[in-house]
């Protein structure tokens, strides 16, 4: 009897159809909401920033939001280049430092660590992700920046004479608030993100692949190189991009430790500025075109983030195609 009821319930057409449709509508609207929200953000920001979009905005590296001579001939200049440069340099340093460390931690956790150690380390890394960015920033200006000055000085003394490296590692700022410090703080902030995603990705490598590598007489490193890394390339790139996104958008920690000098300097031990940092620093007292310029910086940041994501997607697709070719 009950069996019959169940069957009747399952085959009752109209009811299933309603639930299906509802579910379909829910999912589609949720999917579209993402697009709509993105589009609305972009439209409003471009509209608000429009008055500031001039040739200077994209080509100038000087930032003179006040009118230096009142009614005189000089006009305010809103150039984004120095800030764009700072954001790129700082994020690049962060990624260069954080990626090897994160992948190392993730491999250690999935391939080498005994279970008890693994749980402890995972908890610690998750805790690192939970530290608010302003705490990182304060730690940066009070502890890290002053402590790094002698290190920078040492690196400058050693590498200062070498042709290309010499200009990268120039005379350090006495306050230690530099591109490098900001990059290192950011690296610490994005390590947990990259590590936890990379760990998940490495965990999905089929045991059969690994066993196969072992069976062929591979050492542990050869197994990782031949079985784990190729299988998880796409996922790891995804993890790096998420970390990079966090690094480029990070505001308060960078604003505190980057030193707030509007300049394009090859020397990574110099002070600089970044896009989100200038927005948070100068928003409160801005009016008119000045405000528009700051919103324009937001648009620039938005566009770079989208571009980086597109490039990443392209890289992942290329790699996947190549790997499929190799395995076939």
Partner 1 sequence: MNRTVLSRRVFAGVAVAALALAGCSSKGDPGTDPSASAAGGLASITGELKASGASFPNTYYQEVILSLKDAAPNFKVTYNSIGSGAGKKEYGSGLVDFAGTDSTVKDTDGVPAGSYLYIPTVAAPITVAYNLKGVDKLQLSPVTLSKIFQRTVKTWNAPEIAADNPGVTLPATAISVAHRSDGSGTTSNFTKYLAAAAPDDWKLGSGDTVAWPADTQAGAKNTGVAQLVKAADGAIGYIDLSDAKDSGLPFAAIKNKDGQYVLPTLEGATAALAGAEVKDDLTFNPLNAAGAATYPITAPTYLLVKPKYDDPKKAELVKAFVKYVLTDGKAIAAEVNYAVLPTELQAKALAQLDKVS
Please report, as ranges, the residues that interact with partner 1 according to CB under 8 A.
62-70, 74, 141, 146, 173-175, 177, 255-256, 259-263, 265, 271, 281-289
H-type alpha helices, the chain:
2-11, 13-49, 55-59, 81-107, 115-130, 133-139, 145-159, 163-168, 179-203, 207-215, 220-223, 229-249, 252-257, 275-282, 288-327
- The residue (of 163 and 284) whose beta carbon lies closer to partner 1 is 284
- The residue (of 169 and 273) whose beta carbon lies closer to partner 1 is 273
Task: Taking each helix axis as running N to C, give the angle between helix 81-107 and helix 275-282, from 0 to 180 degrees, rounded to the nearest 10.
Answer: 120
- The residue (of 154 and 288) whose beta carbon lies closer to partner 1 is 288
| Closest distance to partner 1 from the beta carbon of 282 (Å) | 4
Q: How far is the C-alpha of 271 from the C-alpha of 145, rounded, in Å?
A: 11
The 3-state DSSP class for residue 318 equals: helix
- The residue (of 141 and 248) whose beta carbon lies closer to partner 1 is 141
Residue 269 contacts residue 250 (beta carbons within 8 Å):
no
Residue 56's alpha-carbon distances to 18, 64, 75, 138, 305, in angstroms, are 57, 11, 11, 34, 22
- The residue (of 133 and 195) whose beta carbon lies closer to partner 1 is 133
b/e code 79-97 from CB counts within 10 Å (16+ = b): bbbbbbbbbebbbbbbbeb
64 forms beta bridges with 77
| Closest distance to partner 1 from the beta carbon of 184 (Å) | 19
- The residue (of 129 and 252) whose beta carbon lies closer to partner 1 is 252
Output phi, psi for 64, to 5 deg: -125, 80
- The residue (of 60 and 305) whose beta carbon lies closer to partner 1 is 60
| Closest distance to partner 1 from the beta carbon of 53 (Å) | 18
| Closest distance to partner 1 from the beta carbon of 89 (Å) | 15
Cβ neighbours of residue 273 closer than 8 Å, sequence gap 6 or more:
82, 83, 86, 258, 259, 260, 261, 262, 263
| Closest distance to partner 1 from the beta carbon of 73 (Å) | 12
| Closest distance to partner 1 from the beta carbon of 302 (Å) | 22
Using alpha carbons, select from 31, 12, 5 the residue that is nearest to residue 20.
12
Q: How far is the C-alpha of 251 from the C-alpha of 270, rounded, in Å?
A: 19
| Closest distance to partner 1 from the beta carbon of 162 (Å) | 24
């Amino acid at each position: 009897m009950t069996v019959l009821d169940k069957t009747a319930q399952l085959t009752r057409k109209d009811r299933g159809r309603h639930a299906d449709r509802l579910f379909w509508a829910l999912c589609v609207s949720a999917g579209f909401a993402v697009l709509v929200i993105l589009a609305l953000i972009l439209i409003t920001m471009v509209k608000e920033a429009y008055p500031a979009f001039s040739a200077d905005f994209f080509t100038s590296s000087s930032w003179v939001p006040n009118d230096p001579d009142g009614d005189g001939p000089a006009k305010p200049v809103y150039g984004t280049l120095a800030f764009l440069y700072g954001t790129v340099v700082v994020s690049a340093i962060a990624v260069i430092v954080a990626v090897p460390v994160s992948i190392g931690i993730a491999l250690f956790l999935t391939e080498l660590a005994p279970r008890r150690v693994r749980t402890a380390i995972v908890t610690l890394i998750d805790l690192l992700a939970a530290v608010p960015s302003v705490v990182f920033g304060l730690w940066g200006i009070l502890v890290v920046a002053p402590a790094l000055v002698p290190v920078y000085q040492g690196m400058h003394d050693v590498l200062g004479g070498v042709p290309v490296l010499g200009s990268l590692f120039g005379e350090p700022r006495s306050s230690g608030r530099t591109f490098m410090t900001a990059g290192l703080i950011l690296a610490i902030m994005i390590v947990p993100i990259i590590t936890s995603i990379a760990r998940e990705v490495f965990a999905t490598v089929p045991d059969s692949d690994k066993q196969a590598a072992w069976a062929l007489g591979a050492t542990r490193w050869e197994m990782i190189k031949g079985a784990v890394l190729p299988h998880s390339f796409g996922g790891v790139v995804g993890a790096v991009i998420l970390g990079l996104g966090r690094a480029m958008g990070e505001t308060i920690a960078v604003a505190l430790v980057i030193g707030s000098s509007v300049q394009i300097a090859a020397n990574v031990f110099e002070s600089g500025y970044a896009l989100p940092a200038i927005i948070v620093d100068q928003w409160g007292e801005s009016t008119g075109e000045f405000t528009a310029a700051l919103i324009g910086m937001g648009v620039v940041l938005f566009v770079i983030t989208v571009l980086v994501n597109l490039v990443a997607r392209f890289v992942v697709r290329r790699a996947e195609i190549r790997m499929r070719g190799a395995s076939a």
